[in-house]
Chain A
Amino acid sequence: MPLSQAQKRELEAKMQEFVGLPISEPKPGRDAVNEPMIRQWCDAMADENPIYWDAAAAKEAGYDGVVAPPTMLQAWTMQGFEMAEGYDVPKNNEHRLHKLLTDHGYTSVVATNTDQGYTRYLAPGDVVTANTVIESISEEKATALGIGYFINTRTTFTDQDGDEVGWLTFRVLKFVPQQQPQAADDGGAGAAAAPGIIRPPMGHDNGWWWELVQDGVLAIQRCNGCGALHHPPRPMCNQCRSMDMGHVEASGRGTVHSFTVIRHPQFPGYDMPILAALIDLEEGTRIVSNVVDCRPEDVHIGMKVTCRIDEVEDGFKLPVFVPAG
């Protein structure tokens, strides 16, 4: 059952009480920085940098001895995954915040991204302490996974002297899992059709043009009264006001007048990014289309292109343009 606006506001107010709170007392690492753990990490990462392995090489590079890879920062204070024990008995503020959301139907969680920063190299003997704060919670977002809230935490790492040695931000999405369409076992009713490109609605003034495309013809409307060419087609010629309209078949040769590479939002049913262009046809009219068989970085204004009519989906043809050979 989706929450009402009032329930949502109440939830959001409760969530906001967590912002700025540490998730727990600062947590020192179980072990001080040590060479066995460094070697194990480097083995796993296939990191052969000698300053992590060999004291002599590290000294030559200007360090007192072997140092730890900066990306191990979080490893020094990690002790299992506390969330794995579930939310039933929350042990810290992060658990409590997650439980609050779970109890309101935001049952799923996914980590979305993390950033780290390093102040200095850690060396064997350093004792690292992590202090994690719930930094912010987003407004409700509609994502491909479902609606939810992004929770940002920020961890500051300090050494035995209390000096900062690095930081880490971590973002999770706590969300209501979206109902996935039932897979069709018989291809019958209930099967969600895969989205396709939006096809043109066809009316009196444009349907004939699309029918010719399905026959493999790129047409340009031509006024039978005065011979003027028009695109897009219209019911009356703006030159002579004749309503007697015919067409000519275009040669398909053209030049890119302008273009755009469309990247966001991502449209279901379209291959992203979309290279769309405005093309001057040699007959003198202009048409919007796609340039295909061409990398986005290679298209340019003035580029010569040729029309090709592709069956882009079963039973539907679309004129597109390719770089002229």
Chain B
Amino acid sequence: MPTTLKDEAAIVGIGQTKFTKNSGVSELALACEAVSNAIDDAGLDPSEVDGLTTFTLDTNDEIDVARAVGIGEIRHFGRTPYGGGAATAIVHQAVMAVATGTCKAVVAYRALNGRSGQRYGAGVSGNIITSDLIHWSWYMPWGLLTPASWVAMFAQRYMHEYGAKPEDLAEVAIATRSHAVNNPDAFFHGRPLTLDEYMDARFIAEPLRLYDCCQETDGGCAVVITSPERARDLKHPGVMIRAAASAAGADQEQMTSFYRPAISGLPEMDSVASQLWETSGLGPDDIDSAILYDAFTPNVLFQIESFGFCGRGEAKDFVKDGALAVGGRLPTNTHGGQLSEAYIHGVNGIAEGVRVVRGTSTNQPQKNDHVLVTSGIGVPTSAMVLGKMD
């Protein structure tokens, strides 16, 4: 039995649907299509899959997906809460299921009509019936209803403490967009972003402007996880999961951890980073490119600091001069990210991480030994390091 999750599982298949603003089909149809495509990409038969993981927010029951796709017996079904923080956490769960021998092959999936159905950007309302309704009651009466407004509170303080400017946030938006320009699957395919366009766009919640905010998308994404031994026999070279980790920080709230002594960082992501480095034996210098969860641009700056690519408050300098573009120090969100490709709650980023290690990204960085993939910001969160199989 393994004592760590280092090199215990590999991603062998990725699948997705078209990304649109109005799919015209059910979320279950999107889930089935993504899962089916991922299984095909792996070269497996659905009957060989015996585990399914997804988000608590996903509306598609594991058993419904299994029945539709032709997956037979399921031996593990696990869900992870807290929105985007679940994206790599559902892979983390799959790795544990595979490493312990519970499952032979697990599909981690997420599918949503995020634009034509329930829109996360529209925020919370009094109609939600959940156990955390009391939590939101400390924000709703004062008008803090949307993710943008919650993140803006952190961003304002961060910019105040470290002197970051709107132009520094624009670096993230523009670099990410430059990747989407080359990605036919991206909403912003062929549409670059200039600094003037960024600055002229309307404020959503100051200091966040329109292009600091991700999109809302209809679509689905799925990945297949199996053991490294099985991976060696399959269609594509497997992509090794060097390490995977999840964490909630001290005094964590969902999106509103406003009561910590400092609010200009992400303690939960700091924890994920130290777990990843400890398990994998790697460090920031070993990472060639990254998929950093980009629901909002400031979160990319926070994560660059959490993972030690630079010191606290230095991300604004780190991102200058094309550091996040292909050819820069840390090519980031080479698919266009959630800002510019699609918002599939971070799972589209996992697919891109796999493409980068395979060497098939539409913005392929030259060096691709290790790719960092993160998910979720301001919530209990997760990340992993992907690398080539020996």
* Residues of chain A having any CB pair with chain B under 8 Å: 5, 8-9, 139-140, 197-203, 205-206, 231-232, 257-265, 267, 270, 274, 276, 278, 285-286, 288-290, 296, 301, 318, 320
Q: Tell me how far the C-beta of B70 lies from the nearest C-beta in chain A, rounded to whole angstroms.
A: 26
As a 0/1 sequence over residues 154 to 166 of chain B, the CB contacts with chain A under 8 angstroms (1 = contact) are 1011001000000
Determine the chain B residues whose CB is within 8 A of the CB of A203 once the complex forms.
134
CB pair B258 A198 closer than 8 Å: no
CB pair B142 A290 closer than 8 Å: yes
Q: Which residue of A lies closest to B133 (CB)?
A: A201
List 12 A-B pairs, Cβ < 8 Å.
A199-B126, A200-B140, A201-B126, A201-B133, A258-B153, A261-B203, A264-B203, A265-B121, A276-B144, A278-B157, A288-B153, A318-B141
**C-alpha spacing A231/B125, complex, angstroms:** 22
Q: Which residue of A lies closest to B264 (CB)?
A: A258
Q: Tell me how far the C-beta of A163 lies from the nearest C-beta in chain B, rounded to whole angstroms.
A: 29
Partner of B153, one of A231, A260, A270: A260
Q: Which residue of A lies closest to B161 (CB)?
A: A301
As a 0/1 sequence over residues 197 to 224 of chain B, the CB contacts with chain A under 8 angstroms (1 = contact) are 0000011111110000000000000000
Determine the chain B residues whose CB is within 8 A of the CB of A276 once the complex forms.
142-144, 149, 153
Number of interface residues of B (CB under 8 A): 40
**C-alpha spacing A231/B21, complex, angstroms:** 40
CB pair A288 B142 closer than 8 Å: yes
CB pair A258 B154 closer than 8 Å: yes
* Residues of chain B having any CB pair with chain A under 8 Å: 21-22, 24, 121-123, 125-126, 133-135, 137-146, 148-149, 152-154, 156-157, 160, 202-208, 256, 258-259, 263
Determine the chain B residues whose CB is within 8 A of the CB of A9 once the complex forms.
24
User: Which of A198, A261, A274, A320 lies at the interface centre, i.e. has the most chain B CB atoms within 10 A of its CB?
Assistant: A198
Partner of B205, one of A231, A262, A285: A262
CB pair B156 A258 closer than 8 Å: yes
**C-alpha spacing A318/B138, complex, angstroms:** 11
Q: Tell me how far the C-beta of B118 lies from the nearest C-beta in chain A, rounded to whole angstroms.
A: 13
Determine the chain B residues whose CB is within 8 A of the CB of A206 once the complex forms.
134, 137-138
Partner of B126, one of A198, A259, A264, A318: A198
CB pair A270 B137 closer than 8 Å: no
Q: Tell me how far the C-beta of A268 lies from the nearest C-beta in chain B, rounded to whole angstroms.
A: 10
Determine the chain A residues whose CB is within 8 A of the CB of B141 once the complex forms.
197-200, 318
Partner of A198, one of B21, B145, B205, B208: B145
Determine the chain A residues whose CB is within 8 A of the CB of B154 once the complex forms.
258
CB pair A261 B22 closer than 8 Å: no
For the complex with contacts A199-B140, A286-B258, 13 further pairs of A-B residues with Cβ separation under 8 Å are A9-B24, A139-B22, A197-B140, A201-B134, A203-B134, A260-B149, A262-B206, A263-B202, A263-B204, A276-B142, A288-B256, A301-B160, A318-B142
User: Which of B21, B22, B135, B143 lies at the interface centre, i.e. has the most chain A CB atoms within 10 A of its CB?
Assistant: B143
